[in-house]
Structure 1
Amino acid sequence: MRPLPRTRPPPGEVAEVAPGLLRVCLPLPGPPSHVNCWLIEDGAGWMLVDTGYGDEPTRTLWRQVFATALGGRPVTRVLVTHFHPDHVGLAGWICAEWDAPLLMPRSEWQRARLLLAEDQAATTALFLALLERMGAPPEHLRWMAARGITYGQRVLPLPSTFQPIADGQALRIGGRDWRVLVGAGHSPEMACLHDPGADILLSADHILPRISPHVGVQPSEPSADPLGTFLGALARFRALPGNTLVLPSHGEPFHGLQARIDALLQHHHAALCGLRAAAGTGLTAAEALPLLFSRGFEGQQLNFALAEALAHLVHLTARGDLLRRTDAGAAWRFSPAPGP
């Protein structure tokens, strides 16, 4: 089993995690505190996997990495695992700086481009409507209306062309074949990368070492079942070798992939059982929060928590355990389904 890399690089520096594979750790303004990006030796240069936020402090850190850590070799390609700002934020700038192509799952690229092109007031209104369905308190609705959707403030314009990557595809990187494994649920078609020769998995946000990734209902798909998609995708990763070195987008590298998958499945199973047992005369997503989380939330973190609570309730509905109705206050209320 490969020894675990023990050094988290300071911002603007790199650490080698395996031969020809470097880690870049970039700070984030809120939880989680950082995002891991990866540089994979790619012939005469480096393939970059994920880019951090599209802001000037992150751009400054990349300039430092490019000047000091690449050995004078270029970035040959930029691969973005999914559309979230901490992963795609600077992709457009880095592609332009290095004249490098962008690789991305098709639906992730489309989602990012759509969010950048949409009218922000209309997108905010759609999000507010879903928050009302979740039973969000009035003060939070006022906060969200004033803040608005900030995607375009954290993601720079993307290239107008890209190279789509898909589940099962083999990518030749630096003389080795990496296989694309889609880990959906956290986002529509998140790309993870597995090198079977070296037993290395870049797990993106799909499998994290200490927390469950955020899995929440999105305003554009209010009746979707992202938690069901996530749990199903987790099961597929159990087939990877037990000694795989897992390199997550947040947190530290780890071994024990199957044990971590089991822990994630057990975590969500317990949460679902608790919600089903407590549904009584009906629960809104807001009322479900204390059953899922041991602390309170505000601001953007409350958005995430509400969306995740709704995802659990929607999954129970998809399983036939709960029924959804709209109460007098326009919130969705989930009640036990009648027995057979």
Structure 2
Amino acid sequence: MNSADPKTTSAVSYPDLPIPAGGEVVEVAAGVYWVRMPLPFALDHINLWLLKDGDSWVQVDTGLVETSVIEYWRTLFETYLGDAPVRRLIVTHLHPDHVGLAGWLTHQWGATLHMSRTEYLLCRTLLSDTHKEVPEAAIHFYRQAGFDDESIGIYRAHFGGYGSFVGALPDSYQRLVNGDKFKIDGVDWEVIIGQGHSPEHVCLYCAEKKVFIAGDQLLPTISSNVSVWPLEPNANPLKDWIDSCHLLRERLPEDVLVLPAHGKPFYGAHPRLERLIAEHEQALQDLYEFCAEPKRVVDVFSVLFKNPVTKRTLIFATGEARAHLNYLVQAGKLQVSLDEQGVGYYRQVSSGVR
């Protein structure tokens, strides 16, 4: 294993570790192995983790349902896992790159699936949307955001795509809750639940190894998408996200090695969390000031995003913009009114952001 001590700096730093190629593993801590699988998106990879557990393995997250990913897993089974089976599969959350192959992998090994309840049930709900008609409530949600007919067409084409990347889940699972502790290879691991990016995101912390498997809850260079969706239009996931950043800042030691789902393992959890909080607070202040005059959801993209919103990013950008607007509405800083066409306009009702 190659590793490095954390540097004494306010910035994120990276241990000297090679990035694993497809079908390979890299040991990042004693008994903790890094696997990387491809994604067919702009974000072109996901990090997955294998934890040695005596004469078996615990796996964290799965990759998408995709031929190359399955072939890489077959290579790993033959080359690295040997006769030691995967007995437990832990899925951090319901997004396709994390849960996609859960059904296939548990079937391969006869493994038990471990997830939080909300993520498991919501995954099954989204899978049930495959091949269904777009609900009118969803069309209303995006019309209210200011979508024209072309944009509604983009959403219609997007709807139900979840099932393209996610296989059927096992019909039973083991529930994970915040504070759960269990042993892997004789060492305690603790479940820490994060919120905002997904409703009940499982993270894993091992105090003895000083390792934190973060999923998408803490990434080294990008901020995870925090969105409002038609299923719960008045949700406030951004408050959940900021609260979770504060929770992790208090819970994790400064020298913990963070194992993120994207990017490279890193040190510097505290400054990274502080920066994420500060960036969102600044975005909220900028958005509040921009809404001195009434604005639709689609009008605020330029304030929140550095890059232009394209057809490919429209749905996620809308969800994240709505998350920021909902935060300010529920903080009593903005109010929203609907015009005769049902389009929402947001404007200031007071000064500053609490």
**TM-score normalized by the length of structure 1:** 0.96
1:54/1:119 CA distance change after superposition, 3 Å: closer
Distance in 2 between the 1:139 and 1:154 partners? 25
2:262 is matched with 250
Distance in 2 between the 1:146 and 1:259 partners? 40
2:308 is matched with 296
Between 54-63 and 73-82, report the one with greater CA deviation. Answer: 54-63
- Is contact 1:5-1:253 (8 Å) kept? no
After superposition, what is the alpha-carbon deviation per residue over 1:136-184, rounded to whole angstroms, capped at 9, x for unaligned?
A: 3432211222343201111000000000000011021111110000011
Aligned positions, number: 339
Distance in 1 between the 2:313 and 2:333 partners? 28
**Aligned-partner residue type, residue 276 of structure 1:** Y
1:124/1:254 CA distance change after superposition, 3 Å: farther
Question: How far apart are residue 334 of structure 1 and its match?
Answer: 1.0
1:338/1:274 CA distance change after superposition, 3 Å: closer
Distance in 2 between the 1:190 and 1:142 partners? 31
Distance in 2 between the 1:140 and 1:11 partners? 37
**Aligned-partner residue type, residue 125 of structure 2:** L
2:21 is matched with 10
2:9 is matched with none
Equivalent residue runs for 1:191-202 within 5 Å: 191-202=202-213
For 2:50, which of 39, 50, 60 is the aligned residue?
39
- Listed as ranges, the gaps of 5+ residues in structure 2 are 7-13
**2:327 is aligned with 1:315:** yes
**2:291 is aligned with 1:286:** no
- Is contact 1:124-1:149 (8 Å) kept? no
SS in 2 for 1:68: helix
2:219 is matched with 208
**2:146 is aligned with 1:135:** yes
Matched residues, percent identical?
36
For 2:284, which of 247, 266, 272 is the aligned residue?
272
After superposition, what is the alpha-carbon deviation per residue over 1:176-232, rounded to whole angstroms, capped at 9, x for unaligned?
A: 110000011100100000001111100110111001100000211100100001100
Question: How far apart are residue 338 of structure 1 and its match?
Answer: 4.9
**Aligned-partner residue type, residue 333 of structure 2:** D
Distance in 2 between the 1:22 and 1:201 partners? 13
1:227 is matched with 238
SS in 1 for 2:300: helix
**Aligned-partner residue type, residue 294 of structure 1:** K
**2:275 is aligned with 1:263:** yes
- Displaced runs of 4+ in structure 1, greater than 6 A? none
Distance in 2 between the 1:27 and 1:33 partners? 6
Question: How far apart are residue 72 of structure 1 and its match?
Answer: 3.0
**Aligned-partner residue type, residue 290 of structure 1:** S
1:272/1:40 CA distance change after superposition, 3 Å: same
Distance in 2 between the 1:147 and 1:82 partners? 20
- Is contact 1:92-1:159 (8 Å) kept? yes
- Is contact 1:201-1:247 (8 Å) kept? yes
**TM-score normalized by the length of structure 2:** 0.92
